[in-house]
Chain A
Amino acid sequence: MKIYPMSTNIICSNLLNNSKDQIIRLGNCKKGWSGIVSNLTFIEGLNIDWYEFEERLLEMGFIENAEVKILYEGLIKHDPIAVLVNETIVAIRRSDALTIIVRPL
Protein backbone atom coordinates (compact mmCIF):
# COMPACT_ATOMS: atom_id res chain seq x y z
CA MET A 1 0.00 0.00 0.00
CA LYS A 2 1.31 3.40 -0.94
CA ILE A 3 1.43 5.85 1.89
CA TYR A 4 1.52 9.51 1.09
CA PRO A 5 3.34 11.90 3.40
CA MET A 6 0.93 13.90 5.51
CA SER A 7 1.03 17.56 6.28
CA THR A 8 -1.06 19.09 9.03
CA ASN A 9 -2.80 21.28 6.50
CA ILE A 10 -4.90 19.02 4.39
CA ILE A 11 -4.21 19.80 0.77
CA CYS A 12 -7.12 21.53 -0.91
CA SER A 13 -7.69 19.64 -4.08
CA ASN A 14 -7.73 21.63 -7.21
CA LEU A 15 -10.01 19.84 -9.56
CA LEU A 16 -9.18 22.03 -12.53
CA ASN A 17 -5.46 21.52 -12.21
CA ASN A 18 -5.54 17.82 -11.66
CA SER A 19 -2.08 16.54 -12.40
CA LYS A 20 -1.16 12.92 -11.92
CA ASP A 21 0.91 13.25 -8.80
CA GLN A 22 -1.63 15.43 -7.00
CA ILE A 23 -3.47 13.65 -4.23
CA ILE A 24 -7.25 13.93 -4.41
CA ARG A 25 -9.13 13.28 -1.20
CA LEU A 26 -12.79 12.32 -1.38
CA GLY A 27 -13.55 14.81 1.40
CA ASN A 28 -12.44 17.70 -0.81
CA CYS A 29 -14.38 16.72 -3.90
CA LYS A 30 -17.44 18.52 -5.15
CA LYS A 31 -20.94 17.18 -5.46
CA GLY A 32 -21.27 15.09 -8.59
CA TRP A 33 -17.60 14.04 -8.63
CA SER A 34 -17.04 10.41 -9.46
CA GLY A 35 -13.97 8.26 -9.46
CA ILE A 36 -12.18 5.29 -7.98
CA VAL A 37 -10.73 4.74 -4.51
CA SER A 38 -6.94 4.54 -4.62
CA ASN A 39 -6.28 3.84 -0.96
CA LEU A 40 -7.11 4.76 2.61
CA THR A 41 -4.69 6.79 4.70
CA PHE A 42 -4.37 7.89 8.28
CA ILE A 43 -4.92 11.57 9.05
CA GLU A 44 -4.54 13.57 12.26
CA GLY A 45 -7.56 14.54 14.30
CA LEU A 46 -9.73 11.46 13.96
CA ASN A 47 -11.60 10.78 17.15
CA ILE A 48 -11.18 7.06 16.70
CA ASP A 49 -8.42 4.53 16.41
CA TRP A 50 -7.28 4.57 12.80
CA TYR A 51 -7.19 0.81 12.42
CA GLU A 52 -10.77 0.56 13.60
CA PHE A 53 -11.89 3.40 11.35
CA GLU A 54 -10.20 1.79 8.38
CA GLU A 55 -12.02 -1.42 9.27
CA ARG A 56 -15.34 0.42 9.30
CA LEU A 57 -14.59 2.17 6.01
CA LEU A 58 -13.78 -1.21 4.49
CA GLU A 59 -17.00 -2.68 5.85
CA MET A 60 -19.00 0.10 4.21
CA GLY A 61 -17.34 -0.68 0.91
CA PHE A 62 -14.59 1.97 0.75
CA ILE A 63 -11.94 -0.36 -0.56
CA GLU A 64 -9.24 0.05 -3.17
CA ASN A 65 -10.76 0.20 -6.67
CA ALA A 66 -14.33 0.75 -5.48
CA GLU A 67 -16.28 3.18 -7.63
CA VAL A 68 -17.44 6.26 -5.76
CA LYS A 69 -19.66 9.19 -6.65
CA ILE A 70 -20.73 12.10 -4.48
CA LEU A 71 -24.50 12.26 -4.80
CA TYR A 72 -25.65 14.79 -2.23
CA GLU A 73 -24.28 17.16 0.35
CA GLY A 74 -25.57 18.96 3.43
CA LEU A 75 -26.48 22.64 3.65
CA ILE A 76 -23.81 23.89 6.04
CA LYS A 77 -20.34 23.87 4.49
CA HIS A 78 -21.59 21.24 2.00
CA ASP A 79 -21.25 18.71 4.80
CA PRO A 80 -21.83 15.76 5.24
CA ILE A 81 -21.78 14.02 1.86
CA ALA A 82 -23.74 11.03 0.59
CA VAL A 83 -21.47 8.85 -1.50
CA LEU A 84 -22.50 6.09 -3.85
CA VAL A 85 -19.98 3.31 -3.20
CA ASN A 86 -20.56 0.65 -5.84
CA GLU A 87 -24.26 -0.05 -5.18
CA THR A 88 -24.55 1.40 -1.67
CA ILE A 89 -25.21 4.99 -0.59
CA VAL A 90 -23.07 5.88 2.43
CA ALA A 91 -23.22 9.09 4.47
CA ILE A 92 -19.86 10.37 5.68
CA ARG A 93 -18.46 13.67 6.93
CA ARG A 94 -16.05 15.53 4.70
CA SER A 95 -13.43 15.62 7.47
CA ASP A 96 -13.56 11.83 7.77
CA ALA A 97 -13.64 11.35 4.00
CA LEU A 98 -10.23 13.07 3.82
CA THR A 99 -8.81 9.66 4.67
CA ILE A 100 -10.06 8.32 1.34
CA ILE A 101 -7.64 8.97 -1.50
CA VAL A 102 -9.33 8.83 -4.89
CA ARG A 103 -8.52 9.21 -8.54
CA PRO A 104 -10.77 10.18 -11.42
CA LEU A 105 -12.21 7.47 -13.64
Chain B
Amino acid sequence: MSDLLPIEIDENSRVPIYDQIESQVKTLIISGILPAGNPLPSIRKLATSLSCSVITTRRAYQNLEHQGYINTLQGKGTYVAEINMNKQHEQKEKAVIDALSRAANLGKSYQYSDEELVQLFSTILKEGK
Protein backbone atom coordinates (compact mmCIF):
# COMPACT_ATOMS: atom_id res chain seq x y z
CA MET B 1 0.00 0.00 0.00
CA SER B 2 1.25 3.44 -0.83
CA ASP B 3 1.59 5.85 2.05
CA LEU B 4 0.44 8.70 -0.12
CA LEU B 5 -2.97 10.04 -1.00
CA PRO B 6 -3.48 12.20 -4.10
CA ILE B 7 -4.35 15.29 -2.11
CA GLU B 8 -2.72 18.67 -1.81
CA ILE B 9 -2.72 21.18 1.02
CA ASP B 10 -3.07 24.86 0.18
CA GLU B 11 -1.15 26.63 2.91
CA ASN B 12 -2.35 30.05 1.80
CA SER B 13 -5.96 29.05 2.20
CA ARG B 14 -7.92 30.09 5.24
CA VAL B 15 -9.71 26.73 5.21
CA PRO B 16 -8.22 24.72 8.11
CA ILE B 17 -5.91 21.91 6.95
CA TYR B 18 -8.06 19.17 8.51
CA ASP B 19 -11.00 20.52 6.51
CA GLN B 20 -8.98 20.47 3.29
CA ILE B 21 -7.94 16.86 3.90
CA GLU B 22 -11.48 15.84 4.82
CA SER B 23 -13.12 17.30 1.72
CA GLN B 24 -10.45 16.00 -0.67
CA VAL B 25 -10.63 12.45 0.74
CA LYS B 26 -14.43 12.63 0.50
CA THR B 27 -14.15 13.57 -3.17
CA LEU B 28 -11.76 10.65 -3.79
CA ILE B 29 -14.21 8.25 -2.16
CA ILE B 30 -17.39 9.57 -3.79
CA SER B 31 -15.79 9.62 -7.24
CA GLY B 32 -14.70 5.99 -6.76
CA ILE B 33 -10.95 6.70 -6.98
CA LEU B 34 -10.72 5.19 -3.50
CA PRO B 35 -13.09 2.19 -3.58
CA ALA B 36 -14.68 0.55 -0.51
CA GLY B 37 -12.20 -1.59 1.39
CA ASN B 38 -9.21 0.39 0.15
CA PRO B 39 -6.69 0.90 2.97
CA LEU B 40 -5.76 4.44 3.92
CA PRO B 41 -2.37 5.54 5.32
CA SER B 42 -2.03 5.81 9.10
CA ILE B 43 -2.55 9.27 10.59
CA ARG B 44 1.21 9.43 11.20
CA LYS B 45 2.16 8.47 7.63
CA LEU B 46 -0.37 10.90 6.19
CA ALA B 47 0.87 13.68 8.50
CA THR B 48 4.49 13.13 7.44
CA SER B 49 3.62 13.01 3.74
CA LEU B 50 1.60 16.25 3.96
CA SER B 51 3.98 17.92 6.47
CA CYS B 52 1.20 18.56 8.94
CA SER B 53 0.65 17.28 12.48
CA VAL B 54 -1.18 14.10 13.55
CA ILE B 55 -3.56 16.33 15.48
CA THR B 56 -4.73 17.57 12.08
CA THR B 57 -4.86 14.19 10.30
CA ARG B 58 -6.58 12.53 13.28
CA ARG B 59 -9.25 15.21 13.25
CA ALA B 60 -9.82 14.74 9.50
CA TYR B 61 -10.11 10.94 9.89
CA GLN B 62 -12.44 11.29 12.90
CA ASN B 63 -14.76 13.55 10.92
CA LEU B 64 -14.71 11.17 7.93
CA GLU B 65 -15.40 8.22 10.20
CA HIS B 66 -18.20 10.04 11.94
CA GLN B 67 -19.84 10.68 8.56
CA GLY B 68 -19.47 7.04 7.54
CA TYR B 69 -16.85 7.41 4.81
CA ILE B 70 -14.12 5.40 6.52
CA ASN B 71 -13.74 2.75 9.23
CA THR B 72 -10.90 2.29 11.65
CA LEU B 73 -10.30 -1.24 12.90
CA GLN B 74 -8.35 -1.27 16.14
CA GLY B 75 -4.82 -2.40 15.43
CA LYS B 76 -5.54 -3.09 11.75
CA GLY B 77 -5.73 0.31 10.18
CA THR B 78 -8.20 2.55 8.40
CA TYR B 79 -10.27 1.56 5.36
CA VAL B 80 -12.72 3.17 2.98
CA ALA B 81 -16.28 2.25 4.06
CA GLU B 82 -19.08 0.93 1.85
CA ILE B 83 -21.14 3.91 0.89
CA ASN B 84 -24.75 3.41 -0.08
CA MET B 85 -25.17 3.85 -3.86
CA ASN B 86 -28.37 5.89 -3.47
CA LYS B 87 -26.65 8.02 -0.92
CA GLN B 88 -23.67 8.41 -3.22
CA HIS B 89 -25.70 10.67 -5.50
CA GLU B 90 -26.85 12.77 -2.56
CA GLN B 91 -23.30 12.99 -1.29
CA LYS B 92 -21.97 14.07 -4.67
CA GLU B 93 -24.56 16.79 -4.77
CA LYS B 94 -23.79 17.82 -1.22
CA ALA B 95 -20.06 17.97 -1.98
CA VAL B 96 -20.73 20.25 -4.97
CA ILE B 97 -23.12 22.42 -2.93
CA ASP B 98 -20.50 22.72 -0.16
CA ALA B 99 -17.79 23.73 -2.61
CA LEU B 100 -20.05 26.29 -4.29
CA SER B 101 -21.18 27.73 -0.94
CA ARG B 102 -17.56 28.18 0.05
CA ALA B 103 -16.87 29.97 -3.23
CA ALA B 104 -20.00 32.12 -2.78
CA ASN B 105 -19.01 33.07 0.77
CA LEU B 106 -15.52 34.02 -0.38
CA GLY B 107 -16.99 36.16 -3.14
CA LYS B 108 -19.37 37.90 -0.72
CA SER B 109 -16.55 38.54 1.75
CA TYR B 110 -14.87 40.45 -1.09
CA GLN B 111 -18.09 42.44 -1.66
CA TYR B 112 -19.04 40.82 -4.97
CA SER B 113 -22.73 41.11 -5.85
CA ASP B 114 -24.84 38.03 -6.64
CA GLU B 115 -24.99 39.06 -10.31
CA GLU B 116 -21.22 39.39 -10.52
CA LEU B 117 -20.75 35.97 -8.94
CA VAL B 118 -23.21 34.31 -11.34
CA GLN B 119 -21.43 35.98 -14.24
CA LEU B 120 -18.03 34.79 -12.98
CA PHE B 121 -19.36 31.28 -12.56
CA SER B 122 -20.70 31.08 -16.11
CA THR B 123 -17.40 32.46 -17.45
CA ILE B 124 -15.54 29.72 -15.59
CA LEU B 125 -17.89 27.07 -17.02
CA LYS B 126 -17.41 28.39 -20.55
CA GLU B 127 -13.63 28.51 -20.20
CA GLY B 128 -13.62 24.97 -18.88
CA LYS B 129 -15.19 23.66 -22.10
Question: Do A and B bind?
Answer: no
Residues on A facing B (Cβ under 8 Å): none
